[in-house]
Amino acid sequence: MHIGVISDTHMVISSIERLEKEIKGVDVLIHLGDNVDDIANIKKYYKGEIINVKGNCDFSASVPSDRFLEVGGKKIFLTHGHRYGVKENLSGLRYKALETGADIVLYGHTHIAKIDFEEGIWYINPGSASLPRDGDRSYAIISINKGNIEPKVIRF
């Protein structure tokens, strides 16, 4: 199982179009908000399942702020991150992960790609696919195979 994770696309069409080649082989695509309206453009070239949450720049009442999934036998918590203070630290996310029994926590908002593994939980921020604050645009791929989780950030 290969999960593509993007965040903070911010309606930059040229960046969204560049993602086309990048996410072609993923089984599921997750968008962590800012801007969920970009999903309409992503659907032009990605025909698989897209799961999303809204961010602080999204105002759609129909899209949840947080979501829980089970993929490949692993519990995944999705959030944009702004409601958990991720620009300061991950303590709010850690509490939520422990409270819910998450194996993986996916968040965005900072526009900085980061992967942490603490107390058996993966914390993955794919960075920004359009407006990075740490170099090149980025996204994450999470491979789940026989219970093993292998996340990586890819710059493009």
Residue 117: which residues within 8 A CB-CB, separation 6 or more? 123
Predicted confidence at residue 28, as pLDDT, reads: 97
Predicted confidence at residue 60, as pLDDT, reads: 78
Predicted confidence at residue 87, as pLDDT, reads: 97
Residues 127 and 134: beta-carbon distance below 8 Å: yes
In the block, residue with structure tokens 């980025």: 138
Residue ranges of domains in the chain: 2-155
d(CA 140, CA 126): 5
**pLDDT tens digits for 52-73?**
999 999 987 899 999 999 998 9
**pLDDT tens digits for 69-125?**
999 899 999 999 999 999 999 999 999 999 999 999 999 999 999 999 999 999 999
d(CA 57, CA 60): 10
pTM, entire model: 0.96
Beta-strand runs (E) in 13-99: 28-31, 49-52, 66-71, 74-79
Residues 29 and 38: beta-carbon distance below 8 Å: no
- Judged by DSSP in three states, 154 sits in strand
Could you tell me which CATH class the domain 2-155 is placed in?
alpha beta
- Judged by DSSP in three states, 83 sits in helix
